[in-house]
A and B are shown apart, each in its own frame.
Chain A
């Protein structure tokens, strides 16, 4: 039987390569014709802490994860039963998530603990000594006996065994594994293929009864146009396409991957990537590069964005064409949850900086929008000479999914109004008052274009003045550009309505919640008659009038977002005077699953209060759920007896 939607999970200590393994399997699933959605959860740690990667495959597009797991692949004990070696354990492992009829791939010495926890439930235990497959593969390479050192290859064995259980043919798996190894590394790739094959064959021989299979599909209609990537890659590639000339950054999770990707492309694409000493420098350098004539950008996360407000003001008052600032939100406040998801910076992005700052704030909701919105942002920056903030988050940064290949045919570069020495009438004023509020900009180095600029209030030339008439005019000039944005940028870039405009219940949200909402509504209301989903992409300027019209006549409005204080609901109320009937919130550090959205919406229909909190797949009580979970885990730990903390293997060849 093939499940309409299939869910696989691999868990293991950080540094054990679960992401590599999972992404290999994801690409195999995609090659078999499935739509795939993957996401990873990991700690702020290099080696040892529990991380896990979920994959979901279906024969229709999927945009979120589900709670159930059909095949759980464990590289360590913690994945199965939790981190019970802590004074206050943080999680209970994933055994309970495995669906009836599902299976668990695990090593022999874990079986007993898992049996106890399963308590007779219908779950198959597939016991496999990964080390054996590693050993056999290494023997072929003349390195037999070093299997313990090469435990890093256990994940390859796990992928091989998973593929066999799912009925996936071996060849595409071998191809995808090998595609990651080039040149001299090819031999390592081959050893990995052998390792996967031993595990594959072992599983084929020993394991029979997994109910969930992934047979190759007839080719997807749009098969050749699908790609698989992450949000950081979508943004990075869009920046390249947009002609970005300088990317600045200071390392921070979960933003760094984007800059590292770009660093790898520097010489190919004539892009300078500057690693600065801090985020203050990152944004200020980008502002000046924009003035200097290149398209400039910087990417960061909350703690870095917290150092950037002065740069936003700098850009705004000097009317720099940019930069494009990407904030991959993570759990706050402060250092918060460095590698976890949250949408807690909406208010901050809207208001960061002293005084009134014209800025554009855009929140893409999926990987395609990450690409197109990033591309457009550079046009907006040049055209309106304002900073543009892209609000992404950990979920978008790290999700790995199939999306239609980006269509670049309609993308046009708009550099805005530039100073043209040939058409100069009289003296050039960088901040000349114009009807639109936009003054043509010269580029340093241009003859006849000499200008001054200052972060003090200034006159049309760019010199400091505190004159009242000038101040009034300049404030309107700068802030008025937002009205132009409202007029000129088409609505389809600012928001989208999914479902019937007459649907009685309107779900309103922003950013990465889009995927889980679309999947949930597809399940709750396949016809799209009862629910409509209103996705807001432009948070500043806020499309208030259009949203008012779209929300008129709703029986019920539900705002859904990943933060504590219902920030979007607040903005909606402020700008439109519309009050959400329900605020569905999640702030446990993880993105919404499809099931959580379903559960929350069902609760709102069943008479839940104004605020609905979800966590761990269900609607929970805000007051009691947290403390209860803390107590339960301590209890579980006391019942389970002593558990050894994870042992992190030393890298191969490490001199002990």
Chain B
């Protein structure tokens, strides 16, 4: 009997035919390509993937993907991801959105999303500005700074996404750079493979509005030293090896926090923190609420017998 091997899925398989209307040179291109490469690397069938976005330039991502795509509401990536995942926990669900979307208007959902440890991947396109509304300050712009698009400099502290994610309970926290596509693809693949809530905060260049954090700034052209470096090129170990060891968990969180606030001003890329604990789905399964089959395929729910409930009311 002749055996046929399934055709290899390539990054191109995950591309849609839609014309892309991002600005030329936008960092978002790098992120989409990295996402497509990550899915190809993991060979996940496109119809088992759903990309769920908020509103913003980044929000358009699902349209450029050849997977199920949901372009939802500003700030509501994680509620949307949560609803979809609970309907069908077999789907690979990837949330994408801007820093305004996730750390600004959606920050409450960001915190709660982390606490549940539902199995999803969340990519935040972090460009320090609200791009689609033409470059106002976003929650990640540094205090005292002013991009060319801002009318005046910011007088509020920036959010530290890694610290916020640590406090919220994300079990995989990483940072990538939109213009290092292969490295980013690898991080995204790890995030998808991680069982639990995974955040990849991605430095994204916005050539139109953010003249401060440009490609040459990240490369350190001004200071003579690259600003970015990789945690995995040092002996930094992000993984909690014994999840029951509270001291280890605390220590790993502390080192991730220190890395996210490096006084030298250098910016690490890579995995900051990783912890393997039961997911929200696992907990639901343990309670007998969730079965093996996705909720959406449970025909039995339409045959429910409510007579015992009515008997109790008789």
Give me the interface of A with B, judged by CB distance under 8 Å. Answer: 224, 226-229, 233, 237, 240-241, 243-246, 248, 265-267, 269-272, 274, 276-278, 280-282, 284-296, 310-311, 314, 318, 405-406, 408, 413, 443-456, 462-464
Contact = CB atoms under 8 A, between A and B. Distances in A.
Interface string B31-50: 00000000000000111101
7 contacts: A226-B314, A237-B310, A270-B290, A293-B87, A405-B314, A445-B294, A450-B46
Contacts of A274: 82-83, 86
A450 B66 contact: yes
Contact of A284 (B80, B108, B289, B291): B80
A292 B88 contact: yes
B91 A444 contact: yes
Contact of A246 (B71, B79, B90, B295): B295
Contacts of A265: 309
A317 B222 CA distance: 48
Interface string B82-104: 11111110110000000000000
Interface of B: 16, 18, 45-48, 50, 52, 55, 60, 62-63, 66-73, 76, 78-88, 90-91, 108-109, 111-112, 284, 287-291, 294-298, 300-302, 304, 306-307, 309-310, 313-314
B67 A292 contact: no
Contact of B310 (A287, A405, A453): A405
Contact of B309 (A240, A450, A451): A240
A310 B79 CA distance: 13
Contact of A456 (B16, B50, B71, B84): B71
Contact of B86 (A272, A443, A456): A272
Contact of A281 (B60, B76, B90): B76
Contact of B72 (A240, A288, A295): A288
Contacts of B109: 277, 280-281
Contact of B87 (A237, A288, A447): A288
A241 B86 CA distance: 20
**Residue with the highest number of chain A CB atoms closer than 10 Å, among B78, B85, B300, B309:** B309
B80 A285 contact: yes
B296 A293 contact: yes
A88 B85 CA distance: 52
Contacts of B82: 274, 276, 281, 285, 288
A271 B76 contact: no
**Residue with the highest number of chain B CB atoms closer than 10 Å, among A226, A237, A281, A286:** A281
A455 B298 contact: no
Given A228-B314, A289-B295, 18 more contacts: A237-B306, A269-B304, A270-B289, A274-B86, A276-B79, A284-B80, A285-B79, A287-B80, A291-B87, A292-B85, A293-B87, A293-B88, A318-B70, A443-B88, A447-B47, A450-B46, A453-B70, A464-B60
A296 B82 CA distance: 13
Given A284-B73, A285-B86, A287-B83, A240 B304 contact: yes
Given A277-B108, A292-B88, A452-B69, A464 B63 contact: yes
B301 A269 contact: yes
A290 B83 CA distance: 8
A227 B310 contact: yes
Contacts of A406: 306, 310
Contacts of B112: 276-277, 281
Contacts of A456: 71
Contacts of B291: 270
Contacts of A447: 45, 47
B69 A453 contact: yes
Contact of B18 (A246, A284, A463): A463
A294 B287 contact: no
Given A245-B295, A270-B300, A444 B79 contact: no
Nearest to B115: A277
Given A237-B309, A280-B76, A464-B60, A272 B289 contact: yes
A227 B80 CA distance: 38
Nearest to B85: A292
A292 B86 CA distance: 8
B279 to A, nearest CB: 14
Nearest to A224: B314
Nearest to B70: A453
B284 to A, nearest CB: 6
A246 B68 contact: no
B290 A272 contact: yes
Contacts of B111: 277
Contact of A452 (B63, B73, B287, B306): B63
A526 to B, nearest CB: 30
B310 to A, nearest CB: 6
